[in-house]
Amino acid sequence: MRIGVDIGGTNIAVGLVDKDGKIVATGSRPTEPKRGYAAIAKDIAEISLELVKRCGLDVSQIEAMGIGVPGVADNEKGIVLRAVNLYWTKVPLVKEIHKYIDVPINMDNDANVAALAEGVFGAGRGTNSSVTITLGTGVGSGFILNGKVFNGSHHFAPELGHIVIGDNGVLCNCGKVGCLETFASATALIREGKKAVMKNSDSLILKLAGGEIESITAKNVIDAARQFDETAMLIFNDYVKYLAIGIVNIINILDPEVVIIGGGVANAGDFLLKPLKEEVSKNILFKDLPYADIRKAELGNDAGIIGAAIL
Q: Which is nearer to Zn ion, 47 or 172 (CB)?
A: 172
In angstroms, what is the minimal distance from the CB of 180 to Zn ion?
A: 8
CA distance 75 to 67: 10
Please report how many Cα atoms fall inside a 13 Å half-sphere around the Cα of residue 203, on the Cβ side.
30
List the 11-17 sheet strands across, edge first.
23-30, 11-17, 2-7, 65-69, 105-109
CA distance 281 to 272: 14
Kindly list the distances between the CA atom of residue 268 and the CA atoms of 7, 73, 236, 274, 281, in Å, as whole numbers in the listed order: 27, 32, 11, 10, 20
Chain residues 186-245 in contact with Zn ion, contact rule CB under 5 A: none
Q: Report DSSP letters for 179-201, one per residue.
A: BHHHHHSHHHHHHHHHHHHHH-T
Kindly list the distances between the CA atom of residue 203 and the CA atoms of 213, 249, 254, 266, 268, in Å, as whole numbers in the listed order: 11, 33, 40, 23, 20
In angstroms, what is the minimal distance from the CB of 46 to Zn ion?
A: 37
Q: Which is nearer to Zn ion, 59 or 174 (CB)?
A: 174
Q: Is 184 in the site for Zn ion (CB under 5 A)?
A: no
CA distance 273 to 296: 8
Cβ atoms 42, 5 nearer than 8 A: no
Q: Is 69 in the site for Zn ion (CB under 5 A)?
A: no
Q: Rounded to the nearest 10 degrees, how much is the dihedral formed by the CA atoms of 233, 236, 242, 245? A: -90
Q: Which of 123, 179, 190, 221 is in the footprint of Zn ion by CB under 5 A?
A: 179
The stretch near Zn ion (CB under 5 A) out of 116-124, 175-183, 235-243, 286-294 is: 175-183
Chain residues 105-144 in contact with Zn ion, contact rule CB under 5 A: none
The stretch near Zn ion (CB under 5 A) out of 36-44, 123-131, 155-163, 297-305 is: 155-163
In angstroms, what is the minimal distance from the CB of 162 to Zn ion?
A: 4
Q: Is 172 in the site for Zn ion (CB under 5 A)?
A: yes
In angstroms, what is the minimal distance from the CB of 6 to Zn ion?
A: 24
Nearest Cα residue to 133 out of 292, 240, 266, 254: 266
Q: Is 174 in the site for Zn ion (CB under 5 A)?
A: yes
Q: Which is nearer to Zn ion, 25 or 157 (CB)?
A: 157
Q: Which is nearer to Zn ion, 120 or 180 (CB)?
A: 180
Q: Which of 8, 96, 112, 162 is in the footprint of Zn ion by CB under 5 A?
A: 162
The stretch near Zn ion (CB under 5 A) out of 71-79, 93-101, 172-180, 272-280 is: 172-180
* Total residues in contact with Zn ion, by rule CB under 5 A: 5
The stretch near Zn ion (CB under 5 A) out of 44-52, 156-164, 213-221, 296-304 is: 156-164
Vertex 301, ends 160 and 226: CA angle to 5°? 75
In angstroms, what is the minimal distance from the CB of 172 to Zn ion?
A: 3
CA distance 85 to 202: 38
Q: Which amino acid is it at 99?
A: K
Q: Which is nearer to Zn ion, 4 or 178 (CB)?
A: 178
Site residues, Zn ion (CB under 5 A): 162, 172, 174, 176, 179
